[in-house]
Structure 1
Amino acid sequence: MAGPVDAASAKARLDGSEEVACLDIREHGLYGEGHPFLAVPCPYSRLELDVAGLAPRAGVPIILVDDGDGLAERAAERLTRMGYRDVSWIAGGAPAFAGAGFTLFKGVNLPSKTLGELLEETWHVPRISVDTLADWREEARDFRLFDTRPASEHAKMTVPGADCAPNGELGHRADVLLADGQTPVVVHCAGRTRSIVGAASLALAGLPNPVFALENGTQGWALSGRALEHGRRAPPLPALGPAGLAASRVRADALLGRAGLAEIDLAGLARLAADPGRTLHVLDVRSAEEFAAGTIAGAVHAPAVQLVQATDGWIATRRSRVVLLDDTGLRAAVAAVFLTCLGYEVAILREVDAVAGERFERADPPLGAEPMRLRKISAAEGVRLAASGQILLDLRASRAYRASHLPGARWSIRPRLPAIAPGARLVLVGDADVAGLAARDLFARGARDIRHVEGEETDWRKAGLILAGDCGTPGDAEAIDHLAFVHDRHDGNLEAARLYLEWEQGLTRQLDAAERAQYRIGPSPFGA
């Protein structure tokens, strides 16, 4: 365990040329209100569950960010037990980082969202305003409108008439989804990033159609006074026959050549995995159905649409190696262009179906951290024990607790577990793995017996329990897991939508020179 480092030293390491993982171990609400630009969220409530995926090499240098409250030291101890050998933390946490003159950024997925803004500025991605799109409809102009987000987000709200085709999939399945190469294609998301990336993806894939990003997406549509469509269910993505797969391969070949992307086989993957001095992420960018049908053992599912939009949900180690798995290679190649812009060293392994079930061995993996398995009890038994004086802690999301909870339960979260008397008996509610991590901390504080309530809210109601709820507890200041920053922008709060779009468009202006230098943006696929 390396110990504390000052903010200037931490910033220099983040801005340098070597691998480093900066993990912000505060809960989501605190992280989203302000964090170093390259800090990746890995909240202490889930630390041991998530860290090995984000930082899969035990020797990678890790820098932790907390609030200067001592949480980083506790997290460093946990990580050291998992085999991580170079764990340090910013002395004084995020407040000290800001106090040293460095910017704390609001929001989430900063590197990816900033990439979208930089691409619009440097690649001059064609865009269309909501008013122009509405005029096209009035004029009965021929065009296709696609929502570039996953089906679940599409169903919540979309621009009326849009078909769901997540980024990566539209170019791959173009021979089925597009009737010709002349009809204009408009892509939209909820805001900006995935629209910009979506339009750029189609250009990278070599589609001849004119493509446009809808300016400000569903939020821009709503801000114009127009109604969104809700509950539009997306059909399954169309399967590709031999001709469609062949066309996708041809586009992939062309992009691999134009962009100078590396392609490897299974032996090449094994060589990369055997290097103890470099971090390797192996990510399958295909659809969930394709991934479930078979992939390389140890690969992680990272659908192309979300990998580019939220890269820090999969990768914490800056400047690490990434291998993307695909069938024809087009989805992987498009994603690889954007990951290369973000500073990663990317290679592509195609025709993954042919090697499904094969495996690779990492040279320096961290140790597993199996959460404690607690004795299960019914919700009714948990309520009875709480009535008899035992401590009943609800570890679910604070908003879920506010809505309804077991009588006698109080809300808590791992970094702020209550003080307990030696020999205390407790009952925990919530995800079993999260409860198991909290239980370790509680036993370390002297707990004697800890049990876990089975089931979820629907099960408790079916069992006839009357739940408490509709309360303001925990208060906003205590609900550190909830990011209040324009959280209701998709629920009709137009002022929140306006603020969010202003925030997104202002990201590039907040970058310092070293943060801007992290991006390696190549030539525009839209030409001069």
Structure 2
Amino acid sequence: MSIRHIHRATLQTWLTEGGLGTGNELALLDLRSVEAFAKGHPLFATNLPLENLERGVQRFVPRKSVRLVLIDDGDNAAEQGAAILEGLGYTDINILNGGIPAWTADGLNGLPTFDIPGIIFSESVRDLRGTPSIEAEQLKKLYDAKENVIVIDTRTRDEFARGHVPGAVNAPGEEILYRFLDQVPNPDTFVVVSCAGLPRAIIGAQTLIDAQVPNRVAFLEDGTAGWTRATLELATGGEKRAPASSGAAAFGIKHAQALGERQKIRTVNQQGVEAWLADTTKRTTYLLDIRSAEEYEAGHVAGSISAPGGQLLAVSHRTVATRGARLVLIDDDGTRAVTTAYWLQQRGWEVHLLENASSGASTGPLKQVPELLNS
């Protein structure tokens, strides 16, 4: 095995020819620090800082024969990373000459990316489907008139606690159908979906519309950013968490079926997954538990990784470092898995739902590496 250095034109070709849905796998690791990555990540690659590479890479890149590209800040970190990977048995290691500075030397226009930026995908959904929206000032008028309206914030629990539209309830992306009937028992209630800006709000609103809930639905233009820009104050604090009621669970399953039928989402049994995981020569298979981290910690399918569905949808590259890989999603009743698969499939991923996932539960520690995922 040899470690190769590649020109940015080569990576451009690989990204263009090895897009999602082509079956060509490509792993891309950005070895810069979390802080440097947060300031700009034009490739939308997976961030795995050099100091965490040895202990984290097998979780992000489980197949050691996959084509793997390392990116740094032009500071020789990729060379060090390549030596580590070689020692771990990876056999197709490539270093981007000059790193991020060389990649962006002529600007970003026309450059391909590893993952589809969430804002681009969600705006394309909005434009294609005509997802309804409402401005902050309009929502405030409905509030003041005491109209029958509710705001569902689709961000994570921590983000919600830091600041949300007053009166909003929290349902992280994958839970919007799962918790819907508990949060919106009246079919006449106008539902406004919010996030910090646009992407998760658009996807949340369109999920409800495509799942054929009986309510009128729209997304809040620019979310909490639009709310504060209208000189309106945010509320803070979180919510008590409880499992969805039996009625809400049944409602979620029923309406998730509309999503599954629309996208023809496939399932796989335990034996099929085991065969995929055993074949490490041709394809990468990720076994992803899309429930909350707390549920995962209480019991999960052996070998699975905690990857809450809302974040998996918003920033899949933070969890899945191999483009073109096969994704198997795990849930206890299927609603959240179907909701997540519905959008991942539209983004080009090959997705399957694990049948009878609860029968394979086992307890164990989280396999997440939080400091690697919070960038």
Instruction: Flag whether TM exceeds 0.5 (same fold).
Output: yes
- Say whether 1:290 aligns with 2:295: yes
Match of 2:329 in 1: 324
Point out the structure with max Rg over C-alpha. 1
Match of 2:253 in 1: 249
Q: Distance in 1 between matches of 2:249 and 2:144?
A: 36
Alpha-carbon displacement from aligned partner over 1:208-260 (angstroms, at most 9, x marks no partner): 21111111111111111111112x2211134322x443333323333222211
Confirm or deny: 8 A CA contact 1:284 1:301 kept in the other structure: yes
Alpha-carbon displacement from aligned partner over 1:418-471 (angstroms, at most 9, x marks no partner): xxxxxxxxxxxxx9x99xxxxxxxxxxxxxxxxxxxxxxxxxxxxxxxxxxxxx
Q: Aligned-pair distance for 1:21?
A: 1.0
Which amino acid letter does the alignment assign opposite residue 166 of structure 2? P
Q: Distance in 1 between matches of 2:244 and 2:57?
A: 35
The 3 A distance-change label for structure 1 pair 206 and 265 is: farther
**Structure 1 segments (4+ residues) deviating >6 Å:** none
Confirm or deny: 8 A CA contact 1:165 1:237 kept in the other structure: no
Q: Aligned-pair distance for 1:31?
A: 2.6
Q: Distance in 1 between matches of 2:14 and 2:106?
A: 15
Match of 2:28 in 1: 22
Q: Aligned-pair distance for 1:26?
A: 1.1
Q: Distance in 1 between matches of 2:144 and 2:363?
A: 54
Q: Distance in 2 between matches of 1:68 and 1:152?
A: 34
For structure 2, list consecutive stretches of 5 or more residues without a partner in the other structure: 19-23, 365-369
Q: Distance in 2 between matches of 1:29 and 1:104?
A: 26
The 3 A distance-change label for structure 1 pair 310 and 9 is: same
RMSD in angstroms over aligned alpha carbons?
2.7
The 3 A distance-change label for structure 1 pair 208 and 114 is: same
Q: Aligned-pair distance for 1:28?
A: 2.5
| Aligned mate of 2:352, from 347, 359, 369 | 347
Q: Distance in 1 between matches of 2:151 and 2:107?
A: 45
| Aligned mate of 1:237, from 235, 239, 242 | 242
Q: Aligned-pair distance for 1:100?
A: 5.9
- Say whether 1:197 aligns with 2:184: no
Match of 1:94 in 2: 100
Match of 2:225 in 1: 219
Confirm or deny: 8 A CA contact 1:328 1:350 kept in the other structure: no
Confirm or deny: 8 A CA contact 2:192 2:218 kept in the other structure: yes
Which amino acid letter does the alignment assign opposite residue 164 of structure 1? N
- Say whether 1:181 aligns with 2:187: yes
| Aligned mate of 1:156, from 145, 162, 179 | 162
- Say whether 1:275 aligns with 2:279: yes
Which amino acid letter does the alignment assign opposite residue 245 of structure 2? L
Q: Distance in 1 between matches of 2:333 and 2:170?
A: 21
Match of 2:262 in 1: 258
Match of 1:308 in 2: 313
Q: Aligned-pair distance for 1:110?
A: 6.1
Which amino acid letter does the alignment assign opposite residue 328 of structure 1? D
Q: Aligned-pair distance for 1:101?
A: 6.0
Confirm or deny: 8 A CA contact 1:7 1:100 kept in the other structure: no
The 3 A distance-change label for structure 1 pair 320 and 125 is: same
Confirm or deny: 8 A CA contact 1:147 1:187 kept in the other structure: yes
For structure 1, list consecutive stretches of 5 or more residues without a partner in the other structure: 360-430, 435-481, 484-528
Q: State TM-score, norm by structure 2.
A: 0.89
Alpha-carbon displacement from aligned partner over 1:78-127 (angstroms, at most 9, x marks no partner): 1111111111011121222223665599xx98633332222222222211
Q: Distance in 1 between matches of 2:214 and 2:187?
A: 5
The 3 A distance-change label for structure 1 pair 225 and 102 is: closer
Q: State TM-score, norm by structure 1.
A: 0.64
Q: Aligned-pair distance for 1:198?
A: 1.3
Q: Distance in 1 between matches of 2:238 and 2:224?
A: 16
Which amino acid letter does the alignment assign opposite residue 68 of structure 2? I
SS in structure 2 opposite 1:291? helix
Q: Aligned-pair distance for 1:350?
A: 4.0
Match of 2:43 in 1: 37
Which amino acid letter does the alignment assign opposite residue 12 of structure 1? T
Q: Distance in 2 between matches of 1:146 and 1:257?
A: 25
Q: Distance in 2 between matches of 1:5 and 1:102?
A: 19
Confirm or deny: 8 A CA contact 1:8 1:100 kept in the other structure: no
Which amino acid letter does the alignment assign opposite residue 265 of structure 1? N
How many residues align? The count is: 361
Which amino acid letter does the alignment assign opposite residue 325 of structure 1? I
Q: Aligned-pair distance for 1:355?
A: 2.1
Which amino acid letter does the alignment assign opposite residue 327 of structure 1? D
Q: Distance in 2 between matches of 1:331 and 1:245?
A: 10
Confirm or deny: 8 A CA contact 1:25 1:42 kept in the other structure: yes
- Say whether 1:139 aligns with 2:145: yes
The 3 A distance-change label for structure 1 pair 248 and 35 is: closer
Q: Distance in 1 between matches of 2:82 and 2:10?
A: 18
Q: Distance in 1 between matches of 2:298 and 2:37?
A: 36
Match of 1:7 in 2: 8
Alpha-carbon displacement from aligned partner over 1:468-497 (angstroms, at most 9, x marks no partner): xxxxxxxxxxxxxx99xxxxxxxxxxxxxx
Matches within 5 A, 1:25-174: 25-99=31-105, 103=109, 111-174=117-180
Confirm or deny: 8 A CA contact 1:294 1:353 kept in the other structure: no
The 3 A distance-change label for structure 1 pair 5 and 129 is: same
Q: Distance in 2 between matches of 1:339 and 1:274?
A: 24
Task: Give identity over the alignment, percent.
Answer: 34
